[in-house]
Structures are given as C-alpha cells and as structure tokens.
Amino acid sequence: MHELSIVMGIVDIAEEHARREGAQSVEEIELEIGCLTTVEMEAFESAWKQAVKTTILEHSVKTIHRTPGRAGCLECAAEFPLENLYDACPDCQGHFLQIYQGKELRVRSLVIH
C-alpha cells in the first residue's frame, strides 16, 4: 500500500502551503495522477479516507485529473497513446519508447480559506 505514503505526501504539501499562506482550511484540492503511475485508485481512495483525518484536508473536496499515457517511438518517431508500458509502437512494433505523459503525480492547486 504505497498509496498511503502518497496520500501522506499530499497532506504534507497541502499543510505546508496552507501554513505559508496563513490559511485556516483547504476547501478544495486538485491532483494529477497519470494513468501510467502504479497508483491503484481504489487503494488510493481508501488510503485517502484514513490518512486525511485530523489533517487540513479532512473536509476538502478533491478533484483528480487522470492524464492519459502518451509515448514516442525512438525507432520511427511515431507518437501515440500508451495504455501499458509493454505496448508496442503501432507503426513499427518497436519497444524503444520515450514516455511523454502519464507518469505525473502532482498536487496542482488548492483553494484555501
């Protein structure tokens, strides 16, 4: 359950920013979790429920953006959506890929009060 560590990392970031801004509460939090990360969303939700208790995120509304995977082929330069790390290039069937997008794991913004 590394999802718990991830939620704790998010709480740390939110608390630091809220404190710096002199906020009393975080009303909303906006996250980006790419589809190619190993974050399992069900595990994430249950970790969230447990870990935000008694923190500044306890009553926050959270929005999660799931960025789809995107890769470029290093052999033929095609660019295409990537669902799994083991998918081949649709043009040349090559596996030497560069991942452009889908690995994000970020706190984008907060709405503080």
Partner 1 sequence: MCSTCGCDGDGHVISHLGQQDQAGGQLHSHTHGHGHHDHTHSLAKSHEHHPGSRVVQVEKDVLYENNLLAERNRGYFEAKEILAINLVSSPGSGKTTLLERTLTDLQGDADFFVIEGDQQTTLDADRIHATGAKVVQINTNKGCHLDAHMVMHAMQGLKLSNNAVLFIENVGNLVCPAMFDLGEQERVVIMSVTEGDDKPLKYPDMFHSSSLCIINKTDLLPYVPFDIEKAAANAKRVNPSLEIIEVSCTTGEGLSQWYEWLQSK
Least Å distance, CB 32 to partner 1, is 9
Rounded to an integer, what distance in angstroms lies between the CA atom of residue 57 and that of residue 52?
6
The yes or no reply on residue 37 touching partner 1 (CB under 8 A) is: yes
The yes or no reply on residue 92 touching Zn ion (CB under 5 A) is: yes
For the sheet with 70-73, list strands across it: 79-81, 70-73, 97-101
**Nearest to residue 98, comparing CAs of 111, 89, 108?**
89
The yes or no reply on residue 27 touching partner 1 (CB under 8 A) is: yes
The yes or no reply on residue 10 touching partner 1 (CB under 8 A) is: yes
Least Å distance, CB 25 to Zn ion, is 29
Partner from partner 1, Zn ion, none contacting 84, C-beta within 5 to 8 A by type = partner 1
3-state helix, strand, coil in the chain (%, to 5): 25, 30, 45
Q: What is the dihedral of CA 67, 48, 30, 108, to 10 degrees?
A: -70
Binding region for partner 1 (CB under 8 A): 1-2, 5-6, 8-10, 12-13, 16-17, 20-21, 27-28, 37-38, 84-86, 88, 95-96, 105-113
